[in-house]
Structure 1
């Protein structure tokens, strides 16, 4: 979700397989079947599929906290990430959780305040949480959310060089290293997807003056108008991951805080494994907010490659807009993870739960929960 709003495909194999024993087993009875781990995923045409070839559509929530808590000197995830917290998510029948991360906290660069978690502590916490989700049958999307880089242009979310806010693009000095280390840590676990950069906006950084230059900046990086640091393009980040030997599915965004995918197919980075998903975000305050616009701008991409709505929401706490997003996504084989599984109160919108037990907010959370359960019964 944009800083200005919050600082602080279903396949048969996608169903969560739960085999809990009821009461004590009788003598000689077989034990209850164990919880199935989340499936390894890969791209096939315009769908994600499991190793057995079943279509899989990621449906779930974002679990915010890992992008800001550590860099603010707080706890890493701003709330519980234990088995009880995961069990609460499972009552919503989610099969995927997107976890925003902070580049500096992982790398231990200068922006982490004294007394904050060490890189080793942060890395272990991320790995432990991802492993717990996967062991519970829930796929994970690791998202590079906040990054380092001085940004004082007209569109700047904040002037801080540290990773305390959403920057327009990743930084060549640090972001490829982040993805190299994350990919090394999760290599071999293809139940985990890598969302390479949360919400690019190089077009806003260049004051909307050159659309082709913005798309080129997104893919190739380098020196980009309106951005003071050397930019890491999506190709740089794809290369950083693949150079480790990791085969994980990669999500790549578009322009306008990844609400705009109009030229995504023309400017997609090259992945030797052809394992890319287009990342799309959709809020009621974005530019493209109608089914007809989604047909025109997103439908053509979804016909060629998988599209995942990494974030969506409604700042009114109602659900008329998000209902349209989910219904359109269902009809077009697009997955989605709603913002956000954090009990922050829904007065500002986009908050799914009242408490860590998973009580849905009214009426936004209630509608999202009901819809996910309907799609993933």
Structure 2
């Protein structure tokens, strides 16, 4: 697979080490000019469960990983499914699925990129929410204890607790998130943890008063013994911020939501990661995409970075948000974001100070 003819970025390895440094908060652990900028490589979360690998779902290929490494990206968010990795609660991982996950992580890391592990299950399992009798909080914590044990020795692996919790209140989600973080730290893992809110963790709804309280109020009660976490926030541009239509009519509102959240993060002395956002190839939408990313990049005191949704070998060529190249042709979304990844002389771009 051909792509941007740029030198592979190895600075991400140094960035990963920075993620492990001590200090009073996440802002002190990351240098002001370091940021995570990348893409979701979807595919391992595809298909019905349990599914057959490489028929119903697939991890990203080395060619796709290498392609995005050459762009100057520093991070890959890697979606996968919890039940495939751990078919039974509180039981060992499936050896074959674990091997597939570890191979993908190793390939990403060998390219010099940071990887975000992303259980893409919306805080549910078998349609039952985490925290229910069928999926106890303790089982979720046990899952993360096992997973953290596998990757605790690699500072370039970031632990994203869960993709887009929904159907539960922030007050119901909080004990699960705190229990998972406690289980992770009990293993000795010092990796950065990304903590989502509820209601699909949208920036636009972070302050909305919902049953059980807003994300802004409740998620301020996250407890991390290592004090090394960031919030995982998503933001789309379409009419209902869902990322399900190609329009970008709410682009200005999305940018305003990022600004408001940035102010809250700064005041709270916390940071966030924009784990998902996307835009169609429409000219106005590409402009809105550029604006959204610029708002994040301009506030390094509030954001550890971003990952675009999405790319991956199995996307249909017509998928509106796809950044996966078609033959030798780069997608317009990537072309729009390339200036944020590389300077004109080809050197890695840095976050604004």
Question: Above 0.5 in TM-score?
Answer: yes
Quick one: which of 241, 246, 268 aligns to 2:189?
246
SS state of the match for residue 201, structure 2?
Answer: coil
Indicate conservation of the 8 Å contact 1:59/1:96, yes or no. yes
Distance 2:41 2:27 in 1: 24
Indicate conservation of the 8 Å contact 1:340/1:351, yes or no. yes
Quick one: which of 191, 212, 215 aligns to 2:170?
215
Identify the residue that residue 47 of structure 1 maps to in structure 2.
27
Q: Does structure 1 residue 311 correspond to structure 2 residue 276?
A: yes
Identify the residue that residue 219 of structure 2 maps to in structure 1.
267
Structure 2: tracts of 5 or more residues without a match:
1-7, 208-214, 243-249
TM-superposed CA distance for 1:243, in Å, is 2.1
TM-superposed CA distance for 1:244, in Å, is 1.6
Identify the residue that residue 97 of structure 2 maps to in structure 1.
122
TM-superposed CA distance for 1:319, in Å, is 1.3
For each residue in 1:264-322, what CA deviation from the matched residue of structure 2 results, as whole angstroms up to 9, or x when unmatched?
36534211110110111011131883333322234312452121101111256541222
Q: Does structure 1 residue 294 correspond to structure 2 residue 247?
A: no
Indicate conservation of the 8 Å contact 1:16/1:36, yes or no. no
RMSD: 3.2
SS state of the match for residue 339, structure 1?
Answer: strand
Distance 1:309 1:175 in 2: 23
Indicate conservation of the 8 Å contact 2:144/2:184, yes or no. yes
Aligned structure 1 segments of 4 or more residues deviating by more than 6 angstroms:
167-170
Quick one: which of 58, 66, 75 aligns to 1:78?
58
Comparing 169-178 with 192-201, which one deviates more in the overlay? 169-178
Identify the residue that residue 234 of structure 1 maps to in structure 2.
177
TM-superposed CA distance for 1:128, in Å, is 1.9
TM-superposed CA distance for 1:16, in Å, is 2.8
Quick one: which of 301, 305, 323 aligns to 1:352?
323
Decide which structure has the larger Cα Rg and report it: 1
Identify the residue that residue 66 of structure 1 maps to in structure 2.
44
Indicate conservation of the 8 Å contact 1:184/1:244, yes or no. yes
* Structure with more relative contact order (C-alpha pairs < 8 Å, separation 6 or more): 2
- The alpha-carbon distance between structure 1 residues 277 and 358, as it changes in their structure 2 partners (threshold 3 A), is farther
Structure 2 matches for 1:69-108, cutoff 5 A?
71-75=50-54, 78=58, 80-82=60-62, 84-108=63-87
Indicate conservation of the 8 Å contact 2:44/2:59, yes or no. no
Indicate conservation of the 8 Å contact 2:59/2:104, yes or no. no
TM-superposed CA distance for 1:180, in Å, is 1.3
Question: What TM-score does the superposition give when structure 2 sets the normalisation length?
Answer: 0.74
Point out the structure with the larger helix share.
2
